[in-house]
């Protein structure tokens, strides 16, 4: 092939390469423009999301502030309400205690028990008494106890309920302390509801505390103290024939 032929071939090859390169450059430019447009669109979306996030953050902070204020106000109202309820309860309790003391000391409540007088005999040891002569005549609430005592000491009051042929202890007062001899009337720490037919029992924690007479009552006795849930048969109690009457009784409001 001569030189002219070679030159022609080279020119044709260059022309062919140029024709192939030109479309590739155009395609790349189009792709770049598309990517640039997508990038700008993504940046706009990012900016919108950031603005929305900032707005939501502000709303969240504002809500947290409002919740904090409401919580503070609620806490303040609860504290004020609690203090007020406490003051009202203390006032009402004071009035109730004063009313109970007035009724007990004035002898205006219902009374169930033996006459509160000094009697001829005394028990020399701790003893559980069950007053069968003075069952509760009507349902109601017991608020206190009275007795004529020989000396300072302590005793407990029990409420017994008839179940078949047995007496079941259903309530027991805390130990009641006597500070001086003679007639004493004491309110229970907690009032107790009673039913018609319930029997009152007393446990004397020490001897020579309360006097008694024989032949005028029906107070039975035993050595062991009755606790809530204790069951005792009337026939198992001592003193049926001795018919003791003690200077003990309970006060309350009966229907």
- How is the chain split into domains, by residue range? 1-108, 112-254
Q: What is the pLDDT of residue 7?
A: 60
CA 209 – CA 121 distance, rounded (Å): 11
Average pLDDT estimate for 203-217: 94
Cα three-residue angle 166-171-173, rounded to 5 degrees: 135
Write down the CATH number for the domain with range 112-254.
2.60.120
Summarised one tens digit per residue, pLDDT across range 39-52 is 888 888 888 888 88
User: 84-88, 172-176, 205-209: which range is least confident on average?
Assistant: 84-88
Contacts of 52 (CB under 8 A, 6+ apart): none
Average pLDDT estimate for 213-228: 95
Residue 125 contacts residue 226 (beta carbons within 8 Å): no
Going from the C-alpha of 235 to that of each of 152, 163, 171, 222, the distances in angstroms are 32, 14, 21, 11
Summarised one tens digit per residue, pLDDT across range 9-57 is 565 555 555 555 556 787 888 888 888 888 888 888 888 888 888 888 8
For 104, the token pair is 């007990």
For 87, the token pair is 């003051």
Which residues pair with residue 45 across a beta bridge?
A: none
Which residues pair with residue 158 across a beta bridge?
A: 172, 201
Exposure b/e, 193-216, CB count within 10 A at least 16 = b: ebeeebbbbbbbeeeebbbbbeee
Residue whose C-alpha is closest to residue 129's, from 150, 149, 110, 155: 155
Q: What is the pLDDT of residue 61?
A: 86
For 46, the token pair is 């990012």
Q: What is the pLDDT of residue 104?
A: 59
CA 150 – CA 173 distance, rounded (Å): 21
Exposure b/e, 87-123, CB count within 10 A at least 16 = b: eeeeeeeeeeeeebeebbeeeebbbbbbebeebeeeb
DSSP state of 243: -
Residue 161 contacts residue 167 (beta carbons within 8 Å): yes
CA 74 – CA 77 distance, rounded (Å): 5
DSSP state of 225: P
């Amino acid at each position: 092939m001569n030189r002219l032929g070679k030159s022609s071939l080279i020119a044709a090859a260059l022309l062919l390469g140029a024709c192939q390169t030109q479309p590739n450059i155009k395609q790349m430019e189009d792709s770049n423009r598309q990517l640039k447009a997508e990038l700008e669109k993504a940046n706009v979306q990012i900016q919108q999301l950031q603005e929305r996030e900032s707005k939501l953050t502000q709303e969240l902070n504002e809500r947290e502030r409002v919740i904090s204020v409401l919580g503070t106000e609620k806490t303040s109202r609860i504290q004020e309400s609690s203090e007020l309820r406490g003051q009202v309860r203390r006032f009402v309790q004071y009035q109730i205690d004063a009313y109970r003391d007035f009724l007990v000391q004035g002898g205006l409540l219902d009374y169930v028990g033996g006459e509160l007088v000094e009697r001829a005999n005394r028990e020399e040891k701790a003893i559980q008494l069950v007053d069968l002569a003075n069952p509760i005549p009507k349902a109601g609430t017991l608020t206190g106890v009275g007795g004529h005592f020989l000396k300072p000491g302590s005793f407990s009051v029990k409420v017994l309920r008839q179940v078949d042929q047995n007496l079941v202890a259903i309530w027991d007062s805390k130990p009641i302390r006597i500070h001086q001899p003679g007639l004493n009337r004491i309110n229970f720490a907690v009032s107790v509801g009673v039913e018609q037919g319930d029997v009152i029992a007393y446990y004397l924690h020490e001897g020579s505390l309360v006097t008694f007479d024989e032949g005028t009552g029906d107070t039975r006795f035993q050595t062991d103290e009755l606790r809530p849930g204790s069951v005792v048969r009337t026939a198992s109690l001592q003193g049926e024939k001795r018919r003791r009457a003690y200077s003990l009784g309970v006060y309350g409001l009966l229907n």
